Amino acid sequence: MKKTAFFLFVLCCIFHVLPTHAQENDIVKRSDLWRNPDKYLPTQAVRMFGLINQAMNEFTPTIGESTERKLALYLFDAMLHETKYDDSEALFQFADARMEHLMEILKQPAKKGLYIYKVYNDGFIARTKSVTIAFDIVRGKSKGRDIVNEKYIRQIVDQCDVLFLSHNHGDHVDKLTVDLFCQAGKPVIAPKNILKNNDKITHLSGDQRIDEKIKLKNGQKLQVAIFPGHQDKLVNNLYVVTTPEKKVVAQIGDQSNNEDMQWIAKLNQEITRPDALIVNCWTSPLKELVDGFNPKLVVSGHENEMGHTINHRESFWLSFQDMKLIGRDYVIMGWGEGFRCK
């Protein structure tokens, strides 16, 4: 029944029964496209991005895979791996629409449990009733333009209590985001090589596990374990954060280092089992790393980073393929989506 509803939904969008975008109400004359072939693909892009946006809102993230979700996210891949759209108005309007959706779902109270929200790329928010935690939030760039508009970054900072940064790469660290958290008097936790001259950042990294209690502006405290990971040779903090409700979320940035696997493989022996583990979709070996944390749920990240070439933008279809092999519950989200963990 659900699949039938999805295909009806697709047909409705194509024939304009549902408005899928601000420009979807514009009637396009075929003869205009005949006379102006350069207008065809940009016009079609508006329809495609609009359809993706509507499908993501209608068929929200679920554990595992469904035909509806795969259709929406595979189309997402197709549009974002075609570089002719990298500086298109359709792309930036789509990004705004996704952030508007995120702002709406963030307004809904987190009454019970753990909620995970994907912003863009590997930027995530974890939320319980008492705390809201940000990881690697950036604006992102495509052809020099912001993917996530500054006004949405400001709203995210207003909503969040703390920012964790995993490693010193531009698709994980955004000076604007850091400055806004610092100006708001909210903690920023990062390795020592990130914005070293900013004394408002709590710089924590080393060769051994670090345990810290982070006091938040709202009076709550987080228990944080920081592990010395790496992306190749670059320091990459692995965070295991426990909220006042005893919910545990782990985030690993761009962890990718075979030597680290010797201790990561045994990590589940010294940490509380995470309710959610946020992983970079391209890490290797994926299954062994996930098994090391032994999480209740795996959340895939880093798909469709627009600053990368298409062979390393990473795609949802590859994430579905790889996550299916880990033998655990997983969820794959696009920009501006959220999921309530069990």
> What is the residue-wise DSSP string for 165-188?
--BS-TTT--HHHHHHHHHTT--E
Mean pLDDT, contiguous 10-residue spans, the chain (342 residues): 49 41 69 89 95 97 96 98 96 98 95 96 98 98 97 98 98 98 98 97 97 98 98 98 98 98 97 98 97 98 96 97 97 98 87
Is 331 within a domain?
yes
- The pLDDT value given to residue 199: 97
CA distance 44 to 130: 44
Is 105 within a domain?
no
List the beta bridge partners of residue 55: none
Is 96 within a domain?
no
Q: Looking at the structure, tell me whether residues 58 and 21 fall in a common domain.
A: yes
CA distance 328 to 150: 36
Q: Looking at the structure, tell me whether residues 125 and 196 fall in a common domain.
A: yes
Q: Looking at the structure, tell me whether residues 72 and 152 fall in a common domain.
A: no
Q: Looking at the structure, tell me whether residues 158 and 276 fall in a common domain.
A: yes
How do 248-251 and 330-332 pair as beta strands? unpaired
Do 98 and 336 contact (CB within 8 A), yes or no?
yes
- The pLDDT value given to residue 306: 96
Q: Looking at the structure, tell me whether residues 125 and 267 fall in a common domain.
A: yes
Tokens of 5: 């509803």
- The pLDDT value given to residue 25: 62
Is 98 within a domain?
no
Q: For the chain, what is the domain count?
A: 2
Helices (H) and strands (E) in the chain — how many of each?
Answer: 10, 16
- The pLDDT value given to residue 143: 96
Q: Looking at the structure, tell me whether residues 120 and 228 fall in a common domain.
A: yes
Do 266 and 276 contact (CB within 8 A), yes or no?
no
Domain holding 76, by residue range, is 2-85
The number of beta carbons lying within 10 Å of the beta carbon of residue 37 is 8
Is 108 within a domain?
no
Is 106 within a domain?
no
pTM of the model: 0.92
Please give the angle made by the CA atoms of 244, 139 and 180, to the nearest 5 degrees. 55
Q: Looking at the structure, tell me whether residues 77 and 200 fall in a common domain.
A: no
List alpha helices for the chain, DSSP H.
Answer: 2-14, 30-35, 40-58, 67-80, 89-107, 150-159, 175-183, 261-264, 286-293, 316-323
Q: Looking at the structure, tell me whether residues 213 and 295 fall in a common domain.
A: yes
Is 265 within a domain?
yes
Q: Looking at the structure, tell me whether residues 76 and 134 fall in a common domain.
A: no
Tokens of 38: 């350069």
CA distance 94 to 163: 26
Q: Looking at the structure, tell me whether residues 138 and 68 fall in a common domain.
A: no
CATH number of the domain enclosing 138? 3.60.15.10
Q: Looking at the structure, tell me whether residues 77 and 131 fall in a common domain.
A: no
CA distance 238 to 92: 32
Q: Looking at the structure, tell me whether residues 22 and 121 fall in a common domain.
A: no
Is 102 within a domain?
no
Tokens of 41: 């693909």
